[in-house]
Amino acid sequence: MKKMIATAALTLSLGAAAFAMDDAPFGTDADAAYAADLWGIMEDMNLVGADMVHSFPYEGVEPHGMMLETFYTTATVNGHTGDLIVKRNYGPEGVEVNQVLSDPGTHLGAHTVMFRREAGYDSDNKDWFWVKYLPDGSLDKNPAGVGLAGRVAKGADQGCIACHSAEDDYVFTSDHLN
């Protein structure tokens, strides 16, 4: 009897965990697949990957890199065209412009990206899809091992959405999208 109760409890716990992950605001399989599609589009646009274009880096702040490059454009992902912001995050602390310019690959820590999805995707947060890629295009993960793609940290006191919600359009560096 105890074994049967323990098995039932484990089954309910696993089922609840699966349900919770399906309802998670970010890090789902669908988010990872969308992020992979977006990476492919950005690679075709030379915004990421081996043939990416470069601009003049500027001083950044945490949680992004100490030096940054930011690109504003539009892209079409799965038939939807939306605003695209690609930020390259360079480090470590103390890195200088000339170091990034002479060897960007050594200093690139991550690509943080905002893509405005279709209306209704996340209307509470201007329909932005958030993703943090490692330099090779794989998804970065939070300390719990959840992929950073989707409605990253929705409802949390810290994270992408919480920080960016201080701005009308969730964009700090430019008002061109307003």
10-residue block means of pLDDT along the chain (178 residues)? 37 36 79 98 97 93 87 96 96 93 95 97 93 97 94 81 76 64
Taking the model in full, what pTM does it have? 0.82
What torsion, rounded to 10 degrees, do the Cα atoms 92, 98, 99, 101 define?
100
Q: Tell me what pLDDT residue 162 has.
A: 81
> What pLDDT score was predicted for residue 121?
95
Helix (H) or strand (E) holding 45: none
Which tokens in the block code for residue 57?
Answer: 């880096």
| pLDDT confidence of residue 113 | 97
Q: What is the pLDDT of residue 129?
A: 96
Three-state SS at 73: strand
